Amino acid sequence: MTVELQGKSALCSETAGVQDLLKALVGFDTTSAKSNLALIQFVEDYLKRHGIVSTRVPSPDGTKADLFATIGPSTTGGIGLSGHSDCVPVEGQRWTSDPFTLTMRDGKLYGRGACDMKGFLACVLASVPLFKSRKLKEPIHIIISYDEEVGCTGVRPLIARLGSDLPRPRAIIVGEPTSMKVIDAHKRIDSYRTRVTGREAHSSMPEIGVNAIAAASALIGELERLGADIAARQNDPRFQPPFSTVSVGTIKGGTAPNIVPKHCEFQWQVRSLPSAAPAEVPRDLAAFAENALLPRMRHVTQEAAIDTETQGSVPAFVAAPQSEAVALALELTGARTTHAVSYTTEAGLFEQAGCPSVICGPGNIAQAHAADEYVSIEQLDACMAFLQGLADRLTG
Ligand SMILES: [Zn+2]
């Protein structure tokens, strides 16, 4: 790594610590499809060196784990600092430098996950000596999850234990990249897969077959139409775009150009405003299939079918009125207003589980998931100041 410390950041030893920790975290390839255990072991060892015991919450197959650790008194409540350890793949992206080697150029630290969201985790870990040096009135809990990028599934077993054998924080700060703005709401995601079954035939006699790809394309056209209809009806200016969106992500079907295809399937998502009814689009698509497509298809074969299954959901996030998590983040950032975003996080799950939550972390979401992902040193400094403020706020 060719990191040169210059100017202001060279004077800030805590920031230098952040960079070393971020370098280590980025060095673990924790793409969601892979194990995160090497990173979890690294964090466990780091915390152990500071006298902090961690609890692992393993995945069902044992290849991944969440981590929960507490600093300070073993009283109830406390503040949770939450981040996910996994990151999105680099395949198909053109990177200027190795994505798993943290590299500094022009005050920006480049690497997969630097922004989303190992930057926040590095700041939290770099603040551990500060937290340890204080006589905290209430505990600080570090919460690290896996599989956030594939439907926020990894944190769920950990959340299920909050308030039983793991303490339930009175407020949780989810450090997703918000440019340190305070986010108190986000949309919901519902993911679906639709399978179309038709009937195979020689392509010279399409009339005795049922073309599954043609039916799928009609369904996709209907999804586009439903999306446009929603866009014309809904308008919540807090969100960008200000309405729920529908998007088809994958499609596969057919075997050869001279065969009428029997199978076609596609995956699609609805990202709903918190106030919208999430079941509306699958219901309307099923009605279209039943009324406009299936009668014609079944005229040729009774085997014709269109089935849609839910593949996963991430709840919307809306902070409760007078949320103590939002109040805390506003106080620590000095911001006066909150914002809403269209991407999802684990905050909705925490809020649902009775932990008031807020989203606030370093880096810009525009750099997340992209080639040449980076977090700026300025943003890491801002997050370190935020965590210092938290330590001050909790010092007795
Ligand atoms: Zn993230």
What are the pLDDT tens digits along the chain (396 aa)? 444 434 334 334 444 599 999 999 999 999 999 999 999 999 999 999 999 999 999 999 999 999 999 999 998 899 999 999 999 999 999 999 999 999 999 999 999 999 999 999 999 999 999 999 999 999 999 999 999 999 999 999 999 999 999 999 999 999 999 999 999 999 999 999 999 999 999 999 999 999 999 999 999 999 999 999 999 999 999 999 999 999 999 999 999 999 999 999 999 999 999 999 999 999 999 999 999 999 999 999 999 999 999 999 999 999 999 999 999 999 999 999 999 999 999 999 999 999 999 999 999 999 999 999 999 999 999 999 999 999 999 997
Distance CA 167, CA 162 (A): 5
The pLDDT score that the predictor gives to residue 16 is 52
In the residue annotation, 86 being an active-site residue is answered as yes
Ligand 1 centre distance from Cα of residue 346 (Å): 9
Give dist(CA 52, CA 100) in Å, integer: 28
- For helices 212-233 and 280-288, angle between their N-to-C axes, nearest 10 degrees: 140
- Report the C-alpha gap between 340 and 183 in whole angstroms: 5
Question: Can you give the length of the chain in residues?
Answer: 396
Q: What is the pLDDT of residue 6?
A: 40
DSSP letter at 319 equals P
pTM: 0.90
Give the Cβ contact number of residue 267 at 10 Å: 15
Q: Out of 14, 44, 66, 86, which one is annotated catalytic?
A: 86
Whether residue 126 contacts residue 18, with contact meaning beta carbons closer than 8 Å, is answered with yes
What is the C-alpha separation between 183 and 137, in angstroms, rounded?
26
CA of 56 to the centre of ligand 1 (A): 20
> What are the Cα distances from residue 183, in Å, to 115, 179, 304, 315?
17, 10, 46, 15
**Would you call 381 helix, strand, or coil by DSSP?**
helix
Is 309 catalytic? The answer is: no
Among 387, 392, 316, residue whose Cα is nearest residue 357: 316
The confidence score (pLDDT) of residue 75 equals 87
Q: What is the predicted pLDDT for the residue at 396? A: 79
Q: How far is the CA of 231 from the centre of ligand 1 (A)?
A: 26
Count other Cβ atoms within 10 Å, centred on residue 295: 10
Tokens of 130: 């500060």
What distance in angstroms lies between residue 112's CA and the mean position of ligand 1's atoms? 11
If you measure from the C-alpha of residue 371 to the centroid of ligand 1, how many angstroms do you get, rounded to a whole number? 15
- Sign of the C-alpha dihedral computed for residues 133, 135, 136 and 139 taken in this order: positive
| Ligand 1 centre distance from Cα of residue 345 (Å) | 7
Q: What is the pLDDT of residue 200?
A: 97
CA of 295 to the centre of ligand 1 (A): 44
Separation of alpha carbons 377 and 364, rounded Å = 12
- The active-site residue out of 44, 148, 346, 381 is 148
Residue 281, C-beta contacts closer than 8 angstroms, at least 6 positions apart: 223, 226, 227, 230, 244, 246, 270
Ligand 1 mean position, distance from CA 396 (Å): 33
State the distance from the centre of ligand 1 to the C-alpha of 363, rounded, in angstroms: 11
Q: How far is CA 43 from CA 124, 129, 148, 393, in A?
A: 11, 14, 18, 25
The whole-angstrom separation of Cα 384 and Cα 395 is 16
Q: How far apart are CA 184 and CA 173, in angstroms?
A: 11
Burial class (CB in 10 A: 0-12, 13-18, 19+), 322: exposed
- 3-state class (DSSP) for residue 375: strand
Parallel/antiparallel/unpaired status of strands 103-105 and 357-359: unpaired
Span from the CA of 113 to the centroid of ligand 1 (angstroms):
8
- 3-state SS class at 229: helix
